[in-house]
Every structure is written in structure tokens, then in C-alpha cells.
Amino acid sequence: MVRQATLNNQRKMENMATGKKLDGKPYAGDPHVAPFLRVALVAAILAVGEAALSPLHADTYQFIVSGYPAENENYAAASSGTALVTSTHAVPTAVQALEARYRTWGESDGIALRSDKLRIMMVVIR
């Protein structure tokens, strides 16, 4: 409910910016106050369920699958096939071991993470 109200407010602000009201008609405006002063936008984080970043329901979403870390992709291609005529190749494991020796990594603990838009509350000053 709160979210819907916020969305409505966002939409109202956008409509005002474009000179149209929610119903699509031109915004009449107040002759005594410049349009951009009519609305003071106060972005406030809604504390409930936000600040703590407690465990959240994992919504359905899409994510991009990356091959990272890519292990010697060039090498793999060079040694993958039959395409190279009469060539012999270095032992892949030796090259991969060399790679690993010169690259180290560390992992953090798992956390909850959210990247949805911050909800904002608008105060309209008339």
C-alpha cells in the first residue's frame, strides 16, 4: 500500500515535470509559484524493512551467467582441436597451474543483497 502510494507520487512528479496531470490533461499550475518550487522532494528511507537489510524473500529474477574466472580461454581454444594442422600443444594442466600460481583470490562471506530502488516519500508543499 505504501509502495503503491509512493509510485503514485513518483508518477505525479513525473507528470508535473512533463506538464501533464495524472489524467493526461495539461497541468494548470499555480500562477504565484514557479512549478519547480511547488514540489519539494524529500527522499527518505522508509526504515521498516529497509535499514536492517534482514533476510529477504528472493524474488524471481534473471541474472547473467559469466564464464569468469575464465581459465586460459585463449589457450583452450588453441589446444582444443583438430583445427591446427600437425601441431602439438603444451600440457594444459601445466599452463593452468602457472596461471593459478600468479593469481590469488579471496571470497567474502555470503550476505543478503538488494538492489531494488529506494523508496522515497514526497512532501508536497502548497
Partner 1 sequence: MKTQKNTFASKKRNSCRFLLATLAVATSATLQAAVPEISGVTMAQAANRLVTIAYTLADAPAVITLDVQTNVTGDVWTSIGGAAVRNAMGDVWKRVEAGSRTITWRPDHSWPDHKIADGGARAVVTAWALDNTPDYMAVDVSATGGAGTQTYYPAADFVPGGVTNAEYKTSVLLMRKIMAKDVTWTMGSTPLETKRAANETAHRVTLTNNYYIGVYEVTQAQWGLIQPSRLTPSTFNNAADRATRPVENVSYNEIRNSANSTDDTAAYRWPADPNPNSFLGKLRTKSGLDFDLPSEAQWEFASRAGNGDTKWGDGSGILNADSDANLNLLGRYERNGGKVWNGSSYVNPAESCGATNGTAIVGSYAPNAWGLYDMQGNVWEWCLDWYESDITENGGAVNIDPSAPATALSGESRSNRVLRGGSWFGAAGACRPAQRNSNAPSTRSYSTGFRVLCSAGLR
* Residue 23 binds to partner 1 (criterion: CB under 8 A): no
Which is nearest to 7 in space by CA: 126, 124, 119? Answer: 119
By C-beta, is 31 or 62 nearer to partner 1?
62
Instruction: Classify residue 13 by burial, with Cβ atoms within 10 Å: 0-12, 13-18, 19+.
Output: middle
What character string, x for contact with partner 1 (CB under 8 A) and - otherwise, covers 29-58?
----------------x----xx-xxxxxx
Instruction: Classify residue 96 by burial, with Cβ atoms within 10 Å: 0-12, 13-18, 19+.
Output: middle
**Least Cβ distance, residue 118 to partner 1 (angstroms):** 6
Largest CA distance in the chain: 85
Distances (CA, A) of 62 to 58, 65, 80, 118, 119: 11, 9, 31, 20, 22
Q: Within positions 61 to 120, which residues make up the interface with partner 1, using CB under 8 A? A: 61, 63-70, 72-75, 77-81, 83-90, 94-95, 98-99, 101-118
By C-beta, is 27 or 71 nearer to partner 1?
71
Give the footprint of partner 1 on this chain (CB under 8 A).
45, 50-51, 53-59, 61, 63-70, 72-75, 77-81, 83-90, 94-95, 98-99, 101-118
